[in-house]
Every structure is written in C-alpha cells, then in structure tokens.
C-alpha cells in the first residue's frame, strides 16, 4: 500500500507558509508545520489539519534542522515535498547603505540562503528515497529585478533563484527543484505598504495584489508538474511586465 504523501513546509506558522500547509493538507498530504518564533500559532495550525504536526526548529541552526528531518524520518519514513518558505528581512531603503551592517547581512543570509541550503541537503536522502521528491523554494520578485524591502533581502532571493537552478541540475532525476517568486502578497507584514499596494492594484495586468492562497496554488501546481524542474515562476499579477 502506497504511503500517504508527506510534506514539510518551513516557516509555516503564518502567512504564505500557513496557506501552503493548508492547501497541501487539503490535497491529502501529511504536513509537518515548522517555525521558530510563534510556537502557539504553529501548533494551532497543525491541530486544524488531519495528519499534521508542528515541529519547532530554526533553520539557521544545523542541529535543529537535523532534528526536524529526524522527526520526519522517525514519524513518516519518507518525504515527498519540501517547501522552503522560512525567511527573514529588514526594511531598509536601498540608498541607506550605512544601515546595512554586517549583522544585517548575516541575519538575512543565515536564514534565507544558508538555512534553505542546509534544510534541503538534510532532506535530500528522504527526498531521493521517495522516488519522486520535490523541493519548492519560496523566493521573491526582489530576486529577479532591483526591488524589495532591502538590498540584502533582494540579494538573498537572487541567490535562492540560482541555487534552485543549480540544485535542479545536480539532483535530477531523483529530485526536482523549483521556486515560486511572489510579488506583493497580502500578509500581515505587508499591511503597512499602502502606497505600494495601491500602485500594484492600479497598474498591473491583473489589477490586484496577491494572496497567500495564490502562492499555495502555484506550489501545488508545480508539485503536480512532473516534467518541470529548475524553474523560477513569478506570482506577481504581471507586475514585472510594467514596473
């Protein structure tokens, strides 16, 4: 009897990650919810889904990453989909170079780049053994064009995009690797971006900002697209065409 598909979604206590976890659960997957900050929200999310469990782990810490993947192996013995959604940023105007200290760089790169890398590497044995493992990295349009909440954040997402392509070439055919690059998404973090939201809604082809569910549907679509790997797919309502 085939095992129930298993997904790990890092950074899924809230926002985009939570929407992805819910969508994958609705699709019939056993979901491991992960986060390092809001433990109460992570546990509540897992409690509302069948075959779900919250595991606290900071993906910037290699020891905690190994603990997370050991839980998956012990509990499920398999992993079909890893969604690297955990990420951090700092809101710093691009022209304010002095505000971008070494500590800012390290804080962002440790989670967004190194954390994504070491989680993927730790998950690779389980993904390979599944026979059709898949990694989806949550990137950003800031990694495609000169935009974003800060220069270190944009650089980190550009690194994720190139990492996605490099990994896809390196780990096929056993594992596929793709990325989703959202534009402005309606999350609590973006609530203060009033001017930007109005601009996006006024000029982009789809005349609206995105929702976490929009990103979740694209993640699921990529997971179903068995002949697609190494792609970075924009989810920005067409904003990249105009602004």
Residues belonging to the active site: 153
> Given CA atoms 181, 185, 212, 108 in this order, what sign does their dihedral have?
positive
d(CA 85, CA 34): 10
Using CA atoms, how far apart are residues 200 and 224, in angstroms rounded to an integer? 29
Contact status, residue 13 vs residue 25, Cβ threshold 8 Å: no
Q: Tell me if 143 sits within 8 A of 236, measured CB to CB.
A: no
CA angle 217-219-221, nearest 5°?
70
Residue 33 near residue 55 (C-beta atoms within 8 A): yes
- Structure token digits, residue 199: 């601009």
């Amino acid at each position: 009897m085939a095992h129930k598909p298993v997904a790990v979604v890092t950074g899924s206590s809230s926002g985009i990650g939570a929407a992805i976890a819910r969508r994958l659960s609705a699709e019939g997957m056993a979901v491991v919810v992960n986060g390092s900050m809001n433990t109460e929200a992570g546990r509540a999310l897992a409690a509302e889904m069948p075959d779900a469990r919250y595991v606290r782990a900071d993906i910037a810490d290699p020891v905690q990453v190994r603990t997370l993947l050991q839980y998956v192996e012990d509990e499920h013995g398999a992993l079909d989909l890893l969604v690297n959604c955990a990420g951090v940023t700092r809101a710093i105007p691009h022209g304010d170079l002095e505000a971008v200290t070494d500590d800012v760089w390290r804080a962002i790169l440790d989670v967004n780049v190194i954390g994504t890398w070491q989680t993927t590497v730790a998950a690779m044995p389980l993904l390979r053994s599944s026979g059709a493992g898949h990694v989806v990295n949550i990137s950003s349009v800031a990694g495609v064009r000169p935009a974003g909440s800060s220069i270190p954040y944009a650089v980190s997402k550009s690194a994720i995009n190139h990492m996605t392509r490099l990994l896809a070439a390196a780990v096929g055919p056993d594992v596929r690797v793709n990325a989703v690059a959202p534009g402005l998404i309606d999350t609590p973090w973006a609530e203060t971006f009033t001017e930007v939201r109005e601009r996006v809604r006024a000029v982009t082809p789809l005349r609206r900002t995105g929702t976490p569910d929009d990103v979740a549907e694209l993640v699921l679509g990529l997971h179903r697209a068995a002949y697609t790997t190494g792609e970075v797919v924009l989810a920005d309502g067409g904003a990249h065409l105009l602004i």
